Amino acid sequence: MRALLLAVLMLVQEPAKAPPDEREKWLPPVRTVTLERGERTVKQVLEAVRAATGLPVEPSGVDEGAKVTLEIKDRPVLAALDDLCRALGRGTVKVREESGAAIELDGEPALPAASHWRQFRVEVEDVQVTVRRSLEKLQRSARVTLTMSMQPGSKPLAVGSFQAEEAQDDAGWSLLASSVEGGRHYRSSDEFQEGEDPDAVIMEDRFDHGRRGGLTVDLNMPAKEAKSIEKLRGRVPVTFPLRYLDLKVPAGELVEGKELKLGGMTVRVKGFKQSKGKATLAYQVQGTREGRDFPSFPDFELLDDKDGKLSQGHSGSGSDDGYTMEYTLVREAPVHSLRLAAYVGRVTLMVPVELRNIPIPAPKKQ
């Protein structure tokens, strides 16, 4: 009896464990490469990279019979392939997401300025210096465009704007805007706040699913004698989900008091009815996280008995007492169930970026 009582007490005292998340589904572990120093052909290096990481690497514009001497110590796969490009004196690395994810090594372009951190790679895509003349004044500006690549298999919800922290040309001029130098912080949405929010609820169509190109950085004009941006340092917020929940509730259960729970959000049904090609759902949204409200109009879908989508359009209204969604149905058929799918929980990483010796082109006059 004492042993049983002790076991019960231990169970009561043990803190509840959070349900396991699925973050590795969207952000796989870092794949690394290690090669002892020595001379190898490009083909041998690529074979070693594939064997170490299990990832497809597709070369183009490179002589696979060419020999290189390099040493790679526990480097993330994208950084290791950039090391190979540097050993060759040319080339760049891209990640193709469509038509089967793969790493592409193009041996033809000149070596770009690139930065690496874990699964992430940021490359300088373009630099523009512009001079605009008007009757009133002369405007001069500079813009750097960056592209982010990620290890194949990475599927972010969103990639935020580049947040510059330091920019300096080789003449010693600071290129940061005065507002940044003065200590003003970048404004960003809640989803781009660094860290984890296990109770966040993010609707499926809320994000762009990680658009990674065209990260623009607007800078002050470099000095006339400057030949390069000596350093560009900053961070890029990248958000990944923790879990994905797909709830389906029979229409017969959509009665007053029925509750649907997703993370820290609870949808409490007030009523549901259907008539003449229309359906109406009344509900309340309860729960807050760190003072921020949850979505007032979640992405409900109305389904038929074969899980086909019946709802084709909707309108919504709300007040302090709750919300009402009115749906137009694609055909006269009984609503069999209501579906509510969302990402629950998110983690936002601040990817550090440091780029060196970015060539400054001649100004474009406009």
Percent of the chain whose pLDDT exceeds 70: 85
Class in CATH terms, 21-111: alpha beta
When pLDDT is cut at 50, 70 and 90, the band that residue 54 belongs to is: very high
Give the model's pLDDT for residue 203. Answer: 82
pLDDT at residue 194 is higher than 80: yes
pLDDT in tens, 130-152: 887 766 666 778 999 999 999 99
Which tens digits make up the pLDDT trace of 267-296?
Answer: 999 999 998 889 999 999 888 655 556 777
For 245-272, how does the pLDDT look when each residue is reduced to its tens digit (9 = 90+)? 899 999 999 999 999 988 888 999 999 9
Query: Residue 18 CB: number of other CB atoms within 10 A?
Result: 9
pLDDT of 186 over the 70 cut: no
Q: What is the mean pLDDT of the chain?
A: 86
The structural domains of the chain, with segments of one domain joined by +, span 21-111, 244-344
Residue 14: pLDDT above 60? no
C-alpha to C-alpha distance for 288 and 200, rounded to whole angstroms? 9
